[in-house]
Amino acid sequence: MKTVTALALFSGGLDSILACRTVAAQGISVCALKFVTPFFGHELLADEDKFRQETRRKYGIDAELIDLSAGYLELLRRPAHGFGKNFNPCIDCKILMLRRARELMAERGASFLISGEVRGQRPMSQQLDTLQLIENKAGCQGILLRPLSAKLLSPTLPEQQGWVDRERLHAFAGRGRKGQLALAKELGISDFPAPAGGCVLTDPILAARIERFYNGLFAIKPEEITTEDISLLLLGRQFRLPGGFWLVLGRNERENERLAELRGPDDWLLHMPERSGPLALLRRAEQHGNDELAAAAAGLAVRYGRKSETGFLDPAEVLLERHRDGQVLHSVEPLPDPVFQKWII
């Protein structure tokens, strides 16, 4: 008999692990899709093989990464179903993921979809009417199986077709996790991430920063926002300089390296060649940047640099790298704190 295949929405959290394992235990071939955007999971793209191997080793699940960045940046501009407590558009996020999963079904030879949603677990996106809304808007009526709450929901195609035995699915509901933890124990799964981690759009501080960014914090239009912009926004010390210019300073060697990687053709870079300190990146400065801007950025680089042997923040040389040329700024004084306090984001 031909093996039936299902695609799963896989966040990597316990519920999605259990959903995959519950269905796989019934002889279904499950392919777990881990959607990533600059707001969640993006760092995994740096080494997808490692992610796949770890998911297989820890949970016995075959998974792959799907980069959803482009559509997601646009979605955040105006999500049809609004935001949750922070800048998290959970309903539209799930619709987008489900739509993408549905589009992949034919290519992967899949007959249905799986998600680890639990009825009533989250106020915004997991109430019964919202679960139905998400399913309908994503065009997944009847083909989306939610194994953890299936017994509390209408039978879906895989149950009706007899591919999956409804009796071996679950009836979990609400915020409690007792049932899931017991099931994890039964399946020998102990090493799983803490709940509600991983999405910066639910982090009050970072979500507020991202929201301000989308609302014109810098001289950047929402339609111009890129994946690299979001990565930059979540990195280092952030400043809004006069004129709406955006400056990021690395706080350590790793962040300095990352800043250099994220540099775009219109960005300026500044650093002190002869003293340890931050790399400073002035985003999109090439067109409208001027000497005053470069001086402010250089003063901040010195201010956050290492003190000299005298124990003071002595003036230092700063190298300014523009798109086509470079310039040495001599004897740059550290910028006094009262000048830039109001620029800190």
Interface residues toward ligand SF4, by CB under 6 A? 40, 88-90, 93-94, 199, 201-202
Q: Which is nearer to ligand SF4, 15 or 159 (CB)?
A: 15
The CB-of-39 to ligand SF4 minimum distance in angstroms stands at 7
Q: Which is nearer to ligand SF4, 97 or 279 (CB)?
A: 97
Q: Which is nearer to ligand SF4, 201 or 332 (CB)?
A: 201
The CB-of-78 to ligand SF4 minimum distance in angstroms stands at 15
The CB-of-5 to ligand SF4 minimum distance in angstroms stands at 24
Q: Which is nearer to ligand SF4, 94 or 119 (CB)?
A: 94
Q: Which is nearer to ligand SF4, 10 or 59 (CB)?
A: 10
Q: Which is nearer to ligand SF4, 153 or 201 (CB)?
A: 201
The CB-of-255 to ligand SF4 minimum distance in angstroms stands at 24
The CB-of-201 to ligand SF4 minimum distance in angstroms stands at 5
Sheet strand arrangement including 316-321: 237-241, 245-249, 280-283, 268-271, 316-321, 326-332
The CB-of-70 to ligand SF4 minimum distance in angstroms stands at 16
DSSP assignments along 100-160, one per residue = HHHHHHHHHT--EEE----BTSSTTT-SHHHHHHHHHHTT-TTTEE-TTTGGGS---HHHH
Q: Which is nearer to ligand SF4, 93 or 140 (CB)?
A: 93
Give me the helices (H) in the chain, please: 14-24, 48-59, 69-75, 90-108, 128-137, 157-160, 178-186, 204-214, 227-233, 253-262, 291-303, 337-340
- On whether the CB atoms of residues 138 and 93 are closer than 8 A, the answer is no
Q: Which is nearer to ligand SF4, 81 or 303 (CB)?
A: 81
The CB-of-280 to ligand SF4 minimum distance in angstroms stands at 31
SS3 320: strand
- In 3D space, the residue among 211, 193, 1 whose CA is nearest the CA of residue 85 turns out to be 211
Q: Which residues of 177-216 are buried (b: 16+ CB within 10 A; e: fewer)?
A: bebbeebbeeeebeebeeeeeebbbbbeebbebbeebbee
The CB-of-275 to ligand SF4 minimum distance in angstroms stands at 41
Q: Which is nearer to ligand SF4, 20 or 269 (CB)?
A: 20
SS3 208: helix
- In 3D space, the residue among 47, 38, 36, 39 whose CA is nearest the CA of residue 12 turns out to be 36
Please give the span between the terminal C-alpha atoms of the chain, in angstroms, as a whole number. 60
Q: What angle do CA 208, 214, 216 make, to 5 degrees?
A: 105
The CB-of-65 to ligand SF4 minimum distance in angstroms stands at 14
- CA gap 248, 218 in Å, rounded: 12
- CA gap 313, 316 in Å, rounded: 8
- CA gap 8, 105 in Å, rounded: 10
SS3 sequence of 268-304 = EEEECCCCCCCCEEEECCCCCCCHHHHHHHHHHHHHC
